């Protein structure tokens, strides 16, 4: 009986993740999607972190403002959106917010900005 309860909880959790989250992309996969399908990079870090270094052509909407400020993403409903975040931020919440806003082609950068830096790829500083 305990096995069935645990199995049910696990399946429920996995289904919830599938419905609300965005699949993860490696740095290489993200670059491929940016080049091939003109993917939009959405950086949900705060403006201070964004100005210290961000991926070129990223759209910055801090997570705290995302629910009330999707206007910078108008016109991108048909393009893939790659969520870039910092350690400790939940990309699941960002994906849920974007899905509620009508965006369906959502992904997240595995490891966020740290994985980009670890791949020795350039950052733009303001």
Using a cut of 0.75, tell me whether the model's pTM lies above it: yes
Write down the CATH superfamily of domain 22-118.
Rhodanese-like domain (3.40.250.10)
Q: Which residue has the tokens 């972190």?
A: 49
The string of pLDDT tens digits covering residues 87-107 is 656 777 888 889 889 998 999
Quick one: which of 118, 84, 109, 119 has its CA closest to 29? 109
Bridge partner residues of 109 (DSSP)? 25
The string of pLDDT tens digits covering residues 38-91 is 999 999 999 999 999 999 999 999 998 988 899 999 889 999 999 998 765 677
The full set of domain ranges for the chain reads 22-118
């Amino acid at each position: 009986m305990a096995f069935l309860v645990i199995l049910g909880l696990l399946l429920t959790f996995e289904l919830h993740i599938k419905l609300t989250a965005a699949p993860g992309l490696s740095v290489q996969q993200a670059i491929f999607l940016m080049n091939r399908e003109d993917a939009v990079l959405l950086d949900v870090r705060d403006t201070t972190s964004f100005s210290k270094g961000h991926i070129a052509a990223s759209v910055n909407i801090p997570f705290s403002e995302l629910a009330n400020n999707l206007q910078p993403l108008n016109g991108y409903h048909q393009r893939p959106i790659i969520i870039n975040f910092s350690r400790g931020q939940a990309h699941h919440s960002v994906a849920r917010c974007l899905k509620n806003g009508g965006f369906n082609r959502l992904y997240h950068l595995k490891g966020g900005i740290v994985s980009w830096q670890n791949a020795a790829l350039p950052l733009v500083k303001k």
